[in-house]
Structure 1
Amino acid sequence: MGDGILDFNWKLFAQRVYQKAKSVDIFVNAMSLVYTTLLSLVPLLIFSFYIMTLFNIFGGMERIINALKGIILENLATGTGEIVIRYLENYVTNVDITQLGVISFFSLVIVIVFMLARIEMTFNKIWGVEEHRDIFKRFVAFWTFVTLGTFLITLSLSLTISVISSYLSSDLIEVSTGNTYIFRFISVVSYFLIFIVGYYLIPNTDVEPLAAIVGGSISGFLFNLAKTLYKVYTKYAVGYSQIYGSLSVIPLFLVWLYLVWMITLLGAVICYVFQNRSNLHHFNTLQDITIGIQNIIPIAILVVICKEFMDRKSTGITFEGLANKINIPVEIIEDNIKGLMAENLITITKENRYIPITTLQRISLWEICELLLFKQEVSVKEIFADEEVCGVYASLKDELRKRLKGLTITDLLDEGC
């Protein structure tokens, strides 16, 4: 295993991470998420802290919550001193969620769901997933994430404090050194867990646990490093305070949020590239592939599926096997597979293997081209205003029909294609 790690082309891996981060423009997306965070940060904190107060199972929850508040608010407002922390704490503690009306409560929930949905859309963009969760599934998933996640954190923390305190025969919360070390440890571990769980669950696609662990671990490390360095910078840099005066905490807070989202999105990119590490040498974007190759990709996928179906006696081919034979980004393969399945040319078995849906002798190359290449949502006359151009298009299409109509996938395979 050690040899495998040493033999891994880390230089190429870093290059692909840079290319992917640039192609999805994580800098712009991080700015967008900063704006979304500003709108939904206070509602999320209000709701999360309220849920914590509902689970006073082992007692002493008020002190635990106060300690957690300090950790959470400090990490959100790193480098901004006490001002932003005090403002956030005032907003959170002065709102009694039980006194809110129905409309205000659901407005609070909608803002939280909106933020999580925006995060999901950004992650899906990194993973090349065009299909997002529908509104109902998104609401249920995010509601569960916020409520159950907060409950589990509170429960685990309560159990830890209760058990350790009983063994030490003292109230651990009252011991300042214990309070410091335990909450620091929980704080650091939680960074890694939040990133790992987020990378695994948020994208609307299957993510390898190992890829989520790698991306989450790197993000957790970068977050801790950035937090330390940013504290040092804001302590000794006086530029912002000289320019903005008492308002200097605002740009400092915004810059910190931007750094957090940059680290988060970079970790998601690392997670994506690591999952596709076997395809690093052919890690191109769709823009790097010519139009001619793009048009022939669905035919190439169909040929590989049919060939595998013939060679392996009806067992079909897995997605991983298909990706190893066609060296293009996996999201492009996924999109073309969806198109082939929508046209009833292939299907997937219970064993997650792709097979042709009809006899190979009946799959005409012209039918494939007509379905996948010449299928238009609008008529040709609406595209080409010149009648002569329409005539040229019709002639080319007719000539192609004559050449391909009698040709099947089997004919190509028999000729050695």
Structure 2
Amino acid sequence: MDPLDPFKPPGPDQPGQQPQSGQQPQAPQPGPYPGQQPGQPVPGQHPAYHPYQQFPGYPAPPVAPTVNGLSIASLISGIVCCLPPLGLVFGLIGLRQIKRRGQRGRGLAISGIVLSTVSTLLITLFFATGGAGEFWKGFKEGIDEVASYRTVEDLSKGDCYDLPGAGDKDGKEVSEVKIIDCDSPHEAEITGGYTITGYDDYPGEETLAPVAELRCEEIDFAYAMDVWAIPASMEPYYYFPTGESWKQGDRRVSCGYSTSKNEKTTGSLRRDASTLNGDQLAYLKAENGFLRSGFRLPEDEFTAAAHLHRAWAKDTSSALADSAKALRGHAWQGDVRKTALQRADQFDASRAHWDKAAKATSEEVFWDHIYSADEALKADTEVAIRKALKGLETTAPAQEERV
């Protein structure tokens, strides 16, 4: 090895020795490649050049300076309006780091500082002038407004709401309604519902409506047991799936009451086991037992369906017998028992006329017994027992008034 040139390749005689006089130093050649003839150049290499070699001790190529991270954070924070003060801090610290470390990003940091300063001034003015309170109030009102709407299939027992419009009462399709506190004026209330089973394909309105009417009648009576507390303007109402909603998996029937057009009511209709005591429940179950049967008057005239009318009278008589038995069998508290037994006697008297109506052969005789059955139930007795039980409605609805 030449001490003056440590990187000079050794001679061919012996590694590390000088070549013999008269000989020129030869650079090492790579071993023969497949198919290479002696003396031919290496494939892909110019014969006059040798492979480049990187020797230890040579300095590496210079690295480009990095971008300061805080300058990027400053710009982002300045753009995001909710973080302007943070962007200002990031920008100032970033400038100091850029100068000390020789990094890039000065323009980003300055832009972040400018945006953050403007945003900070605007937010300060926003709070100082009371705009924040108005903004939050409007934001909250918007959220509450969105949350107040619910799809029909998501309605729950006890929900009070407004009908979408007059068209809703005309049988048009409804997808969502606005939920309202029951203590505020509203147009409808959900008493419960059920899920339709047993059908793969949509059975049609003709099949669903009659079943929904009967099922919802049971649900309505179980929820609003005190029928006197139901305003005269409200009537039973229900939603069931349409053909289109059925395809989307809707199988829910929602039952309830709704008011007439352009009318509203205040307060909940709920009078059930969750709001009534034992005596109130026993009395209302007895009253509603025969009322439910009485509501099922055949739609056809007596002359066209006399057998249906007589069957209706027979069913109502049976319901009155059950109601009288329930009143006599309950362990009434205090002085309520006397009035309850008096009411049971009236049920028996009314039942006798229903029995005669069930055997009537003419329409005139039939309705004479029905009117006599109604007169046997005295309104003053019902008011007296309601007052004694306390907490029940004591004013009979106009259509229910009897002498």
> Same fold, TM exceeding 0.5?
no
TM-score (norm 1): 0.25
The structure where helix makes up a greater share of residues is 1
If asked which structure has higher relative contact order (CA below 8 Å, sep 6+), I would say 1
Bigger-Rg structure (1/2): 2
The structure where strand makes up a greater share of residues is 2
